[in-house]
Homo-oligomer: A and B are copies of this chain.
Amino acid sequence: MTHRIAVIPGDGIGGEVVPAAIEVLEALDLGFEFVDGEAGDYVKEERGEALPQETYDLAAEADATLFGAAGETAADVILPLREAVDSFANVRPARAYPGVDAVKPETDLVFVRENTEGVYAGIEDDLTDDVTTLTRLITEDASRRIAEFGFEYAEENGFSDVTVAHKANVMRKTDGRFLDACEAVAAAGDYEYDEALMDALAMHLIMHPEDYGVVICPNLAGDMLSDLAAGLVGGLGLLPSANVGPDNALFEPVHGSAPDIAGEGIANPAAMILSAAMMLEHLGYGDEATRVRDAVTAVLEDGPRTPDLGGDATTADVTEAVLDAL
């Protein structure tokens, strides 16, 4: 069966790392049909909107989407795209690689971030000239769904530690609801987990990342904690992610469009290629996913390095090396 893959490079280095990932996927010869879509700052300039309806529809109707990055319009592009694929879970593995300088080389974490609500529900009001409010939304359904996903993910991927992040001592009803839902799902599925206040967790993750495995988080906490973990493993250039829905998904690096280095051909394609590996896994190509991951790991260990990892290789050099290692 041919899979139709929407390809949305976006802005800046998105346009450099997405083609690298496509090269790797094409080398596997799985007969994917790649269909390009446009989004980002440059589209907004040309057409007045960062995410044209046709790109939204493309992602919604594809079997999976590869997304690069967007610039100033990032939120206008990625938040609707995550919704287009109906993704409720944002899965962000953060692991250190042998050979890559990491603040904490023992890091091997996966953040399972609720992807639909919390402060991202985006309900804001200017009550007066001086008073502005945002409504943070937490529902039972979304909380249970992410908890189920997270516990199952941990089990399937061999993680014994599951932590639920929250701030229920302050956000008593909303994070209390989130926590209760996790507890109910754990009880029903006989899963074990710990809960942790997100502030204390931030500290512990830095001091002892080895004590943690899968971290189930409300939306914004997942955003912050996964970037924190990027700091532990040597930067955003290494973190892939999956936005997973019931029958569609979008894969993107955690990094942004990096305007400072865009156009120089020196962006690290690792996070994007690893995102493509997550897509392979998701589409049922587990062996191919492993091959890609192993190739990237080998190149990170002793292949050419882009400047973010202290080397002077180009995106093309690294991609070439990954292709050779496949």
Contacts and interface: CB of A to CB of B under 8 A. Distances in A.
Contact of A199 (B124, B137, B140, B227): B227
A125, A133, A198: which has the most chain B beta carbons within 10 Å? A133
B124 A171 contact: yes
B174 A203 contact: no
A204 interface: yes
Q: How many copies does the complex hold?
A: 2
Chain A interface bracket (under 10, 10 to 19, 20 to 34, 35 or more): 35 or more
A137 B130 contact: no
Contacts of A206: 103, 206, 228, 231-232
Given A206-B206, A207-B103, A173 B134 contact: yes
Contacts of A291: none
Contact of A134 (B135, B205, B225): B135
A132 interface: yes
A136 B133 contact: yes
A198 B119 CA distance: 14
Contacts of A170: 75, 79, 119-120, 122, 220
Nearest to A221: B224
Contact of A75 (B136, B169, B173, B225): B169
A277 to B, nearest CB: 22
Interface of A: 74-75, 79, 103-104, 119-120, 122, 124-126, 129-141, 167, 169-174, 176-177, 198-200, 202-207, 220, 223-228, 230-232, 235-236, 256
22 contacts: A74-B169, A79-B170, A103-B103, A103-B207, A119-B136, A122-B172, A124-B174, A129-B140, A132-B137, A132-B174, A133-B136, A133-B137, A134-B138, A135-B136, A202-B202, A202-B227, A203-B231, A203-B236, A204-B231, A206-B231, A207-B231, A207-B235
